[in-house]
Homo-oligomer: A and B are copies of this chain.
Amino acid sequence: VSKGERTRQRIVETAAGLMNRSGWLATPVSAVLAATGLKKGGLYNHFVSLDDLAAQAFDHASGQMVAVIEQRLATDGTAPERLLNLLAAFEHAGQPPFASGCPILNAATETDDMHEPMRQRVAAVVSHILALLEGVIRDGRTAGEFSADVEPRRAAQLLFAAFEGGVMLAGVLRQPVLFSEIKNDLEALIASWAQPRTVTP
């Protein structure tokens, strides 16, 4: 690995943390320079624009999230167990996923109507995560671990939505415990999917 590539990687990691805090679109170059110790030219050798860096930094951050999710869902065990396993992954770690909120939630709300390329990037990650969840739930239904009443796609959506909503609540209210409570509620919800006659998806 070349020295330039190592520098690039270091910038991306630093920027990822920074931009998740100060905004994926709103973080100025100067903040990145201050955090990395580089000078203007040094940064523009590795990225064609700030947009480019933001994209790479977001990919880095979301990639880390996806990696954790894939790893937790790939373990042995029943589908419910794997889902609980996943939820457990976000118990700690600074704040829910990273410091200052979930990069996906942050990027989604920020770029929603402002930056179409970035929005598509976020949408792709969201779709991927939803597909992962849906797959596990479908597996669980096939295996009889979840009732046939449970519609995998809908269940995955509900899970992910409540998760991200919980991140938001805990963040804005400055009450981290609130996220844990929602996590527990989701565990109960998943458990309820075992029995038929559940009215939820």
Contact = CB atoms under 8 A, between A and B. Distances in A.
Interface of A: 21-23, 25-26, 100-101, 105-106, 108-110, 112-114, 119, 122-123, 126-127, 154, 157-158, 160-166, 168-169, 171-174, 178, 181-182, 185, 188-189, 191-192, 198-201
A126 B169 CA distance: 8
A161 B162 contact: yes
B169 A188 contact: no
Contacts of A163: 161, 165
B108 A168 contact: yes
Give this chain's copy count: 4
A122 B169 contact: no
25 contacts: A23-B110, A23-B114, A26-B26, A26-B114, A105-B168, A106-B109, A109-B110, A109-B171, A110-B110, A112-B171, A112-B172, A119-B172, A126-B169, A126-B173, A157-B181, A161-B162, A161-B182, A164-B165, A165-B168, A185-B200, A185-B201, A188-B199, A189-B200, A192-B198, A192-B199
